[in-house]
Amino acid sequence: MLRAFFILMMRDIGLSYKQGGAAGLVIAFYAVAISLFPFGVGPDSAILARIAGGVLWIAALLSALLSLDRLFQADYEDGTLDALALGPLPLPLVVLAKALAHWLAMLLPLVILSPLFGLMLHLEAQALPTLFLALLIGTPALSLLGAVAAGLTVAVRRGGALIALLVLPLYIPTLIFGVGAVDAVDGLASVSANLNFLGGLSLMFAVLGPLATAGALRLAME
C-alpha cells in the first residue's frame, strides 16, 4: 500500500514537470505576481519591508489556487480516477498522495525561492529563516484544503473561478498565522506560537482534507 502511495505521488510529480505540466508556470506566476507589488505600492524599501511577509504569502496562496483546478481534472476526465478508486489504495490516501504531490511539485519550489524574493522586497535578513520555515510548515495546508475545493468542483464545468470562491476564505487562518510568524520576528508576538498554529493547521487538514475530498470525488464519479 505504501508502494502504491509512492508510485502515485511520483507519477503526479512527474506529470507536473512534463510538457503541459503546470509546475513551471506556477513558479513563473509566483515571481511575476510578487514583482507587481513594488509597481503597485512604490519602491520605498520601508514600505516593501513592512508588507513583504503578506505579499509573499498572498502570492503563494494565489499560486496554489492557480494549479488547483488541474489537481483531479485530467484523471477524472480520462477515467484514471475511477481506476484509482477501485485500486488497492483507499480513496482518502489517493487524495493525500495527490495533494502531497501537488505540494512537492508546485509549492515546495516557491518555498525554496521565497527567501530570494524576501531579499528583493527588503525583508530583514533575520526574518528570512522564519519566512522560509513558516512557508514550509504552512503551505501543505494550502494543498490539502485546496484538494477539497478541487474535488467538489471536478465535475463542474468551468470550476476554476468556483474553486477560488470556495477555498480563499478557508485559507485565511493559514495566511494570518503565516504572516504573523514573519511579522513577529521584530515584534512582541511569539514566532513559535504562530509556527505551532501553522503546523497544527497543516496536520489537521492532512486528516480532514482527504476525507472530505474523497467524499466529494465519490459523488462526482457516480
Partner 1 sequence: MHWFANPARFVRLADRILPVAMLLCFGLFATGLYWALILSPADYQQGSSVRIMYVHVPSAYMAMFCYLVMAAAGFSTLVWRHPLADVAGKAVAPIGLAFTGLALATGSLWGKPMWGAWWVWDARLTSVLVLFFLYLGYLAIWGAFDDRSKAARAAAILALVGVINLPIIKFSVDWWTTLHQPASLFRADGPRIDPSMRPPLYLMLAAFQTYFVVIFLWRMKAGLAALKLQALGAMPSPKQNHEQRHDQHHEQNLATRTEEAL
Closer by beta carbon to partner 1, 74 or else 165: 165
Minimum gap (Å) between residue 205 Cβ and partner 1: 9
Residues 6+ away with beta carbon under 8 Å from 157: none
Minimum gap (Å) between residue 36 Cβ and partner 1: 23
**Which residue carries 478508486 as its cell?**
85
Closer by beta carbon to partner 1, 4 or else 62: 62
| Residues 2 and 97 sit within 8 Å (Cβ to Cβ) | no
Closer by beta carbon to partner 1, 37 or else 177: 177
Closer by beta carbon to partner 1, 27 or else 176: 176
Closer by beta carbon to partner 1, 133 or else 175: 175
Minimum gap (Å) between residue 69 Cβ and partner 1: 13
189: left (phi over 0), alpha (psi -120 to 50) or beta: beta
Interface positions with partner 1 (CB under 8 A): 148, 152-153, 155-156, 159, 162, 165-166, 168-170, 172-173, 176-177, 180, 197, 201, 208, 212, 215-216, 219-220, 222
Minimum gap (Å) between residue 84 Cβ and partner 1: 19
For 109-117, which contacts have Cβ atoms below 8 Å and span 24 or more sequence positions? 109/23, 109/27, 110/26, 110/27, 110/30, 110/59, 110/60, 110/63, 110/135, 110/139, 111/60, 111/135, 111/136, 111/139, 113/27, 113/30, 113/31, 114/56, 114/60, 117/30, 117/31, 117/34, 117/56, 117/59
Minimum gap (Å) between residue 118 Cβ and partner 1: 21
**Which residue carries 505551532 as its cell?**
196
Minimum gap (Å) between residue 19 Cβ and partner 1: 31
Closer by beta carbon to partner 1, 38 or else 200: 200
Distance CA 96, CA 106 (A): 15
